[in-house]
Amino acid sequence: MEASLSPAAPTEIHLSAELLSFRKEKRVTRDHNFLSFNSAYKYRPLFYGQTRGLCRKNKCVTFFCSQKREFSVVEGRCIDDIYDDLAKRILPTAAAASDPNLKHIVGLAGPPGSGKTTIASEVVRRINMLWPQKASSMDSRVEPADVAAVLPMDGFHLYRSQLDAMENPEEAHARRGAPWTFNPQLLLTCLKTLRNQGSVYAPSFDHGVGDPVEDDIFVSLQHKVVIVEGNYLLLDDGVWKEISSIFDEKWFIEIDINKSMQRVLKRHISTGKPLDVAKWRIEYNDRPNAELIMKSKKNADLVIRSIDF
């Protein structure tokens, strides 16, 4: 094992496959340092204890361990590397998936424009694609069912009629997307049902109509990995803190706020908003929301450094 230490720079340690077993409880205790794993080794992920290879030919995903608080930072040369390794991190074993009481729930948060929906969808798609390789004990004539699903927070927006009934309806509609324009208590109830009963019906959000669609998403007993994605999942006050406590893992997407706002600007324009209206909405609503969300990064177990898709 080779190690180079410098008080002025992050610590970089190269470990061989035979020596490294990466577990949450075995983190170094030095402050102001990071561990950077860059060589071709295997590590033990936090879920189900499989052994995974991080680096493959022409590909490398880097995990850093911060000791200010116990969380890891994952980054890769391209976004596909990150998708692949996040999926392998939480891919269940066949034995675990057969446990009717097991449900691994991940909370994925980040500011608007950080790519939460894309990352959640791609990680789930890869888990379900890899799953048949793990389900070798099943009858080869039976196609294995999906074991991962996405549950978006968007379905827990307040209805437009509820915004209309507020003291200042005009401001309520203008600030839609702020924490107080959601129904966190309903989300908490949904997640408790999922945790306690193993399945739940959840609402989706119809962007064309602008309202939730009740019972449009079904998370079943067969889904052993559920990624809940949304802006405020890691806030540490009120009902949001109770929501955060349900997750087995808490992921946060780190992105430069100016870059995320540029993405949101393009999104507003693509939906037909005039440029001046789109810019006003970002300054009045999207950026303040993003600044609040960025403060919740400290509550994450894993920080994903965003790169362009």
| Polymer length of the chain | 309
- The pLDDT score that the predictor gives to residue 8 is 35
Task: Tell me how many degrees the CA angle 244-176-151 measures, rounded to the nearest 5.
Answer: 40
Q: What pLDDT is attached to residue 48? A: 38
Query: What Rg do the C-alpha atoms of the chain give, in angstroms?
Result: 21
Q: Give the range of the structural domain holding residue 233, as residue numbers without chain letter.
A: 72-135+143-305
Neighbours of 86 (CB within 10 A): 27
pLDDT of residue 99: 86
Q: What stretches of 143-301 adopt beta strand conformation (E)?
A: 148-152, 200-206, 211-219, 225-229, 249-254
Tell me whether residue 114 is exposed, middle or buried, using C-beta atoms within 10 angstroms of its C-beta: 0 to 12, 13 to 18, 19 or more: buried
| Inside any domain, residue 18 | no
pLDDT at 96: 83
Instruction: List helix spans (H) across 91-202.
Output: 94-97, 116-134, 160-164, 169-174, 184-197
Inside any domain, residue 44 = no
Q: Give the contacts of 163 (CB within 8 A, at least 6 positions apart).
A: 169, 172, 173, 176, 181
Per-residue pLDDT of the chain (309 residues; tens, 9 = 90+): 333 323 333 323 232 232 223 333 333 232 322 222 222 222 333 343 333 334 344 444 444 444 445 667 877 778 898 999 999 999 998 778 888 888 999 999 999 999 999 999 999 999 999 998 877 655 555 567 899 999 999 999 999 999 999 999 999 999 999 999 999 999 999 999 999 999 999 999 998 888 999 999 999 999 999 999 999 999 999 999 999 999 999 999 999 999 999 999 999 999 899 999 999 999 999 999 999 999 999 999 999 987 765
Number of structural domains (the chain) is 1
What is the domain-level CATH number for residue 232? 3.40.50.300
In a domain, 31, yes or no: no
Q: How far is CA 103 from CA 48, 154, 193, in A?
A: 12, 22, 12
User: Looking at residue 132, what is its pLDDT?
Assistant: 87
DSSP state of 145: P
**Residue 174: inside a domain:** yes
Question: What's the rounded Cα separation, in Å, for the pair 23 and 306?
Answer: 24
Among candidates 296, 183, 185, 289, which has minimal Cα distance to 239? 185
Please state, in angstroms and rounded to a whole number, the distance separating the CA atoms of residues 61 and 53. Answer: 10
Structure tokens at 79: 């976004």
Distance of alpha carbon 193 from alpha carbon 217, whole angstroms: 14
Does 160 fall in a domain? yes
Whether residue 67 is contained in a domain is answered as no
Q: Which amino acid is at 94?
A: A
Note whether residue 52 is domain-resident: no
Farthest-apart Cα atoms in the chain, separation: 65
pLDDT value, residue 141: 52
Report the distance separating Cα 17 and Cα 43, nearest Å: 8
* 24 within domain boundaries: no
Q: Model-level pTM? A: 0.77
Retrieve residue 235's tokens.
Answer: 């806030």
